[in-house]
Amino acid sequence: MAFTVQHLLEMPLLRRARPEVLVGGDLGAREVRWVHTSEIYGISPLLKGGEVLLTTGLGLVGASAPAIESYVASLAGQGVAALLLELGRTFTTPPEGLVAAARAHGLPLVVLHGVVPFIEVTEAVHPLLITGELDVLRRVDEVTARLHEALAGGTSGPELVALVAECCATAAGVYSPDGTLLLGEDVRAGGPLGSPMGPPGGPPGVAGGPPVEAAVGRHPWAVLALADTREPALPRLATLCAGVVDLRLGPTSGAGRRAGAGADLVLALAAGQHLPRADVLVRARAAGLAPAPGCLVVGLAVALRLPGATRPGLAATAEAAQAVFGAALVAEVDGELLVATTVRPLALRGRLADFAETLDAELDATVGGGVVRVAAGPLVEDPAGLARSLPAARDALHLAARLTPASRTVLASDVGVYRLLAGIVDDAELERFVEDQLGALLDHDARHGADLVPTLDAYLEAGLSKTVAAQALGVRRQTLYARLERIARLLGGLDLENRHVRTALDLALVGWRMRSSAVTRRGRG
């Protein structure tokens, strides 16, 4: 049975805090995946959904009503199960606009009138959540292993559905969209004599409600139904087994079906959809993606500028990826192409360049040319790691387009510091840091139309080589010397041999470049 917000509020530890539900709804239907404590205003990007957020509201001190509305909207958008605000330490009543915003966005809001140590709440709740989740994962792993063996062994349709029923310890049936039973047992009609089903309301291990169903196929051609046994893992098992049924029995065959399954997996991982690792590995292998010995998995993001009204070159990208990397899963989202593939680590940068050139040739041959930019996320050990690699590749692609528009290929590690600072580029602390380090130069450039900040940037980029920096700036060395002397005077000295001084200036220049390029991730109202 799922642990819900209602269960949480009924715990003795929470009852002592005298909880008051200000915005509710059906709290018994709000499943709790985790309990998190934070006073950070911009916490929502760090959440995955299903959390109960405990806070004293410290991060909301001084926030305007629009900022509070944005805070609530971001939590609701992440699927947070509920917000619990402890009164007394920071606020005696909820801050203005919080209740209205929670009601507008459907976010349950509970205030605690008594002090409760948040660490005691997490210590009490997390073991309950972890135990249930581990049981589900263990169950899914067991079924995944057996179904994977069946896929490799060429099990027939009837044998596969019988194996699904055996693995899930319940009756299983596959139905057409019009409700015709295609394979297995008639779960919807109550099941044949001797099936594992039983009367509604029976004890655990027998049916207690309508069947648990999952669509079969990207464009569903059937439905897999499992008799309800009240097993917590059953919905996840139904989805897993439906995918296996589609791979073995789907009406399409060969590369077309594999490509569609691969694209679905890439899109789900790139969007941050939570998928059990075992499910990802099975789906990736079924779609043809399995790293060979010595290879790792990597996510790529591709931006194409094509002539006229030509749509993104999905086919050309797939052809180029397969030609260079071998097995590759390709999908299109928001005008960008995403690729999941494998590569030997030391060959990544070279293969990326080969891929860009091969894609150039494909585009020349198919649509008359185009401009290609490719970014690679971090290398990961298996396809499950694409949930990290693909979003990083997209971030790197967007940053490269703004900061180094002439680049054709980029690794996420090349722009790692930019990705780190992108989330706080509007933060007041970063603003103060840039001003502390470069304020005198920025003021001088603004008053005199000088280029002292770009000069310092070019000098550090050149590894403190005056010759290279002068060439990059297009000025004479004497001009560069004069500028560096002026920079040293305005900064009260310029000891770039000191690692800490050099690092601080370099980071400040990164912040300056990002502000100048308007590369932000706005998370505040």
Kindly give the confidence (pLDDT) of every residue in the chain, 525 residues in length, as a single tens digit, with 9 standing for 90 and above.
567 888 888 888 888 889 999 998 888 888 888 888 888 888 888 888 888 899 988 888 888 989 999 999 999 998 999 999 999 888 889 988 999 999 999 999 999 998 888 888 887 776 766 556 556 666 777 888 888 777 766 677 788 889 999 989 899 998 887 788 888 899 987 543 333 333 333 333 344 578 999 998 877 778 999 998 777 778 888 988 888 888 776 644 444 445 566 788 888 888 887 777 766 776 677 677 888 899 999 999 998 877 654 556 788 889 999 999 998 999 988 888 999 999 999 999 999 999 999 998 888 877 666 678 899 999 999 998 999 999 999 988 988 887 776 788 999 888 777 767 766 656 677 778 888 888 888 888 888 888 898 899 888 888 889 899 899 899 999 999 999 888 888 887 777 778 778 888 888 887 787 766 644 433 333
Phi and psi torsions of 221, nearest 5°: -110, -5
Give the CATH number of the domain where residue 34 resides. Answer: 3.40.1390.20
Domain final position from 421, 444, 462: 421
Q: Decide: 172 and 161 in contact? Cβ < 8 Å.
A: yes
Q: Are residues 339 and 415 in the same domain?
A: yes
Q: Is residue 438 part of a domain?
A: yes
Q: Is residue 121 part of a domain?
A: no
Q: Give the number of domains in the chain.
A: 4
Q: Are residues 431 and 305 in the same domain?
A: no
Cβ-proximal residues to 94 (8 Å cutoff; 6+ apart), any chain: 22, 57, 85, 87, 109, 111
Q: Are residues 276 and 393 in the same domain?
A: yes
Phi and psi torsions of 27, nearest 5°: -65, -20
Domain span holding position 489 = 423-517
Given this model, what pLDDT does residue 256 score? 46
Could you give the dihedral angle defined by the CA atoms of residues 44, 47, 48 and 54, in that order, rounded to the nearest 10 degrees?
-110
Residue 366's CB: how many other CB atoms inside 10 A? 15
Q: Are residues 475 and 501 in the same domain?
A: yes
Domain final position from 69, 96, 116: 116
Q: What is the pTM of this model?
A: 0.48
Given this model, what pLDDT does residue 522 score? 35
Q: Decide: 382 and 276 in contact? Cβ < 8 Å.
A: no
Q: Are residues 109 and 189 in the same domain?
A: no
Q: Are residues 352 and 459 in the same domain?
A: no
Describe the strand order of the beta sheet including 371-376 as a list of residue ranges: 328-333, 336-343, 296-305, 371-376, 409-411
Tokens of 327: 């097995």
Q: Are residues 309 and 335 in the same domain?
A: yes
**Longest pairwise C-alpha distance within the chain:** 96
Q: Chain centroid to CA 399: how far? A: 17
Q: Are residues 317 and 432 in the same domain?
A: no
Q: Are residues 208 and 312 in the same domain?
A: no
Q: Are residues 303 and 359 in the same domain?
A: yes
